[in-house]
Amino acid sequence: MSAGSAVRLPTAAPGYEEGAAWVDGACVPSGEAKVSIVDTGFSRSDVTYDVVAVWGGAFFRLDDHLERFERSCAGLRMTLAHSREELAGILAELVRVAGLREAYVEVICTRGVSRGGVRDPRTFENRFFAYAVPYVWLLPVAEADTGMDAVVTRTVRRIPSESVDPTIKNFHWGDLTRGLYEAYDRGARYPILLDADGRVTEGAGYNVFALVDGRLLTPATGTLEGITRRVVLELAEQEGIPAAPADLPEAELRRGTELFATSTAGGVMPITSLDGEPVGDGRVGPLTRRLRERYWAAHEDPRHTTPVDYAGA
């Protein structure tokens, strides 16, 4: 099945047509899911999360996502109330109840609610949430061959890694949101942020790749170590293409003959313009196209997929 192809959805349970959520140990329609206003995940962005896709009725790289989620929780000194197996079961149930063949599935762990106003985070009871909604495309399917119009932001730099660890997925989006507004103000939609030393980090929810002098480079620091990023590095190795995380100064990014972004929400997404100028000849490059095809084909590889049992309870 190719990206963007239409499929018939299994029948959703009544009330779950827009998605399903897991709150306080129970499955509820996504539109009814609630988080306490005093939960520090909401009030202080003291939270971590992860997102895994379901494509063609199967999770893609589920264990990789759950392993990263567990690692993120440990990095923030949070404790999950569920085992890996239990997490997988909860997510499968949400997808099944919502009747989704293609889904965007998010797991969340918050610090929780203060007891009696005490601010010592060691006293908080951490909370787990999850939801499954129809698959999300950062780059609309209709624009797959038009590509992303990106800008390197000038008014904002990425939060330093010494302050917020970018390898732990988080909701500290103040800098990324400012980047989005700068991109809009400049007639584009997709920002790419630099760090304080002028090196490329990432965009608003996506990793960045550049083909420079025959080498495929992606930032080694200041960025999330994305699962889709990992898949692309693996696919490039299989194709015999030199590829590696590395320092990527802005000047090197601008030398790239092909640029693309990667995310669970969209896969491999070509960047065809940068600061209003075409990247290469302004069309999707051959390597980007090949890796995009290989990425979606990988969703049918049973080594990396976990089918959803839609008939199960």
8-state DSSP, 81: S
* pLDDT for 125: 95
CA distance 211 to 197: 21
Beta-ladder partners of 262:
207, 268
Whether 256 contacts 208, CB under 8 Å: no
Where helices occur in 193-275 by DSSP H, the ranges are: 227-238, 250-255
| Backbone dihedral angles phi then psi of residue 192, each to the nearest 5 degrees | -125, 125
Write down all domains in the chain, each with its CATH number in brackets: 20-136 (3.30.470.10), 141-299 (3.20.10.10)
pTM for the structure as a whole = 0.94
CA distance 30 to 103: 13
Whether 216 contacts 287, CB under 8 Å: yes
* pLDDT for 9: 60
* pLDDT for 3: 63
Q: Which residues have C-beta within 8 Å of that of residue 191, sequence separation ≥ 6?
A: 150, 151, 152, 153, 176, 179, 180, 182, 183, 203, 204
Residue 272: strand, helix, or coil:
strand
CB-side exposure of 171: number of CA atoms within 13 Å?
Answer: 16
* pLDDT for 11: 80
* pLDDT for 117: 86
Tell me whether strands 26-29 and 200-203 are parallel, antiparallel or unpaired.
unpaired
Each residue's pLDDT, cut to its tens digit, for the chain (313 residues) gives 456 554 556 788 899 999 999 999 999 999 999 999 999 999 999 999 999 999 999 999 999 999 999 999 999 999 999 999 999 999 999 999 999 999 999 999 999 999 888 999 999 999 999 999 999 999 999 999 999 999 999 999 999 999 999 999 999 999 999 999 999 999 999 999 999 999 999 999 999 999 999 999 999 999 999 999 999 999 999 999 999 999 999 999 999 999 999 999 999 999 999 999 999 999 999 999 999 999 999 999 999 999 999 986 5
* pLDDT for 6: 44
